[in-house]
Amino acid sequence: MHDDTRCLGTDDAIAASGFQSLSFPVYRGSTVVFPTVEAYQRRRENFYDGYSYGLYGTPTSRALEARIASLENGTKTLVVPSGLAAIVLTILAVAKAGDQVLIPDSVYDPVRTLSDNFLSFLGIQASYYDPLIGGRIAPLLNERVKLVLVESPGSATMEIQDMAAIAGAAQANGTLVAVDNTWATPLRFKPLERDTDFSISAISKYFAGHSDVLMGSVTVRDEALYRRLRDVSRYLGYGVSPEDCALVLRGIETLSVRLDRVEANALKIAKWLEGRPEVVKVLHPALPSHPGHAIWQRDFSGSSGLFSVILQPWTRPQLALAIEALEFFCIGASWGGTKSIVVVMDPPPVRTATRTVEQGPLLRISVGLEHVDDLLLDLEKAFGMLEPKAELFEPPIRLEI
């Protein structure tokens, strides 16, 4: 053998040595090789569950999919390049030109951009509904409606949806239901156990958990839906890197302890914020003051680390300075990592099917794994900067005596 060839040699040394470790290996590969011409020609048979081409699955991505499917209590999971890609895939797998999808008004905002600019271009009509609609969704359902998207709590404004009522009405109409379960993760809520068809997760958030991976997942129980998703994923050219899958497999090992910690931290901070004069309202479903608290208690086994706060309008002039003064809360999009993150949304996200209830400013907080006392001290310092300044108010009316 020439060195040129030897340089390319496959190496079975590790397998032969009997080496075993506790971590799942990163299997790289675009080409999957087959022992015979016939096996190659029949590779499509391996497409859904085996290996035919690196883009369609590697042992590392399949291991991750199996791990997520077991947590979701589903049968099959697909991992895709982002949480948004998972939503796009689900919609395109079930809706065609002339069809309609129902989307909650509190949806993750890029889905609104997708719907208004691209689904419309494809002839798929997205209609927004009141996230608190519950069983009143029934009159909106007809044979054109192919999918109801549910996201609970809603992005930024944290509305809790009555998924049982929505799923019941959808089932009666033969309409599929997809749940964006990113906030709860299957450790706090399992959509597929509640008469819904797709459980979608932005793996980029709690599953990956370290703000360094972008990925999404869709999990189902129905084999035909799974195959349809796999097919459309292939048409779209979706694929995920095995390195990223290995990072997520690692992240999942600590998912439960991370969630317990951020849940406890977030609750303590949310309660503290409820007592602050700068705060109009804390939007956290685990607080009894939240209008969706009873439904949250019925459906979810716990909460996570993301919630929002509506601040007094008089905090506006000082707000940016106060947020920038925070030491342990970084400013940035995305959430669900180890470190605390905060974003100011002012005005709060757009609503088209319902009225924007609160004017804002809205502060969205993703609580991390820091010690809660450090976070509280940090917030106390920042909120101290929001104290009303006398000059911002109308001078008191002086009574002439």
Q: Which positions lie near ligand PLP, rule CB under 6 A?
A: 82-84, 108, 151, 155, 180, 182, 202, 204-205, 214, 216, 334
- Percent of residues in the chain assigned helix, strand, coil, to nearest 5: 40, 15, 45
Least Å distance, CB 337 to ligand PLP, is 12
Nearer to ligand PLP, 69 or 178 (CB): 178
Nearest distance from residue 52's CB to ligand PLP, in Å?
Answer: 26
Residue 342 backbone class (left: φ over 0; alpha: ψ -120 to 50; beta: rest): beta
CB atoms within 10 A of CB 154: 24
* Contact predicate 313/348, CB 8 Å: no
Residue with Cβ nearer ligand PLP (58 or 204) = 204
**Nearer to ligand PLP among residue 141 and residue 150 (C-beta):** 150
Q: What are φ and ψ of residue 237, in 5° steps?
A: 75, 25
User: Shortest approach of ligand PLP to residue 151 CB, angstroms?
Assistant: 6
* Nearest distance in Å: CB 217, ligand PLP: 10
For ligand PLP, give the closer residue by CB, 202 or 322: 202
CA torsion through residues 13, 15, 16, 22, sign: positive
Q: Rounded to whole angstroms, what are the CA distances from 332 to 34, 125, 152, 324?
A: 46, 32, 22, 12
Classified as helix, coil or strand, 296 is helix
Closest to ligand PLP by CB, 178 or 249:
178
E strands along 181-300, which residues?
198-202, 216-220, 279-283
Q: How far is residue 58's CA from residue 76's CA, in Å, rounded to a whole number?
A: 15
Q: Which of 188, 199, 240, 248 is nearest to 221 (CA)?
A: 199
Measured distance CA(107)–CA(354) in Å, rounded? 12
**Looking at beta carbons only, is 149 or 220 nearer to ligand PLP?**
149
CB of residue 336 to ligand PLP, shortest distance in Å: 8
Question: Nearest distance from residue 61's CB to ligand PLP, in Å?
Answer: 16
Shortest Cβ 110–ligand PLP spacing (Å): 7
Instruction: Return the number of the residue (71 or 141) whose C-beta is nearest ligand PLP.
Output: 71
Residue type, 365: I
Q: How far is the CB of 108 from ligand PLP (least distance, A)?
A: 4
**For ligand PLP, the closer CB: 108 or 300:** 108
- Phi-psi bin for 209: left (phi > 0), alpha (psi -120 to 50), beta? left
* CA–CA separation, 202 and 248 (whole Å): 12
Helices (H), 275-314: 293-299
> Residue 155 or residue 318: which is nearer to ligand PLP going by CB?
155
Q: How far is the CB of 94 from ligand PLP (least distance, A)?
A: 18
Q: Nearest to ligand PLP by Cβ — which residue?
A: 83
| Nearest CB to ligand PLP, comparing residues 180 and 370 | 180
Tokens describing residue 354: 């319902």
Task: Please measure the distance between the N-terminal and C-terminal CA atoms of the chain and give it in whole angstroms.
Answer: 110
Where are any strands of DSSP class E within 241-326? 279-283, 306-311
Q: How far is the CB of 109 from ligand PLP (least distance, A)?
A: 9
